[in-house]
Amino acid sequence: MQVITESLPARTPVANPLLELRRYGQSIWLDYIRRHLITSGELARLVEEDGLCGVTSNPSIFEKAVTGSTDYDDILSTAARRGERDPLLVYELLAVRDIQGAAEVFRPLYEQLRRRDGYVSLEVSPLVAHDTQSTLEQARRLWREVGRDNVFIKVPGTKEGVPAIRQLISEGININITLLFAREMYEQVAEAYLAGLEQFAARGGDVARVASVASFFVSRIDTAVDALLTEKLRAAGGED
């Protein structure tokens, strides 16, 4: 019996918009993390198939991950058995573990792109945003505990955060300056970054190995503007 088959016309592959952005020099980061994302292989898939270039985290993201899943029951149970009652210490234990795991997923990309991408961010406590010394202590401790060079320590771009940024950069610690809302503060943290690099270089450090980004919070501005636009539209409608 002869079987006749007809080949279907080849489908035109649908372009992945995330990968398309890479053509324009844009790096896509995920503002989210949880244990299952790492252990399930989903994070690795996002890196490989969607061109994900980094991950950022903050205490609020971890709060949702802990309260909304069972991913952290093991580490919470261990802390309870040991009688650990310091919530900050418990938080840092689970956060550091996730950041380390995510950093390992991104390491091949980090090395392939020669340190231009492939970073994971971990934030100091918001409770120390206006305390320079406490910011320094927490940032140093987190950097040391994570122990990965493709990690950013997030420091708020507050008045008290500026000297901390300069000092941490001078020590060779990668910094993600967060909570920037004004051009004036951006200029201050940029100057602090450059001053820190100069100090690091003066001590013989390789400035090519110190990374930093400035995170300008456009979403917060969008939220504020949306509310203003809504009011203006209502007012315009009322006048009509």
pLDDT at 55 over 60: yes
**Which sequence positions are flagged as catalytic?**
154
**Token pair for 70:** 């069972």
Domains, the chain, with CATH or none: 27-239 (3.20.20.70)
Beta bridge partners of 178: 156
Asked if residue 5 has pLDDT above 70, the reply is: no
pLDDT band for 6, please (50, 70, 90 cuts). Answer: very low
pLDDT score, position 13: 56
Cross-strand pairs, 151? 120
d(CA 143, CA 173): 7
* CB 200, CB 171: distance < 8 Å: yes
Q: At what angle do helices 87-112 and 59-67 cross, to 10 degrees?
A: 110
Query: Which range (98-112, 115-129, 163-177, 213-227) has the least confidence?
Result: 213-227
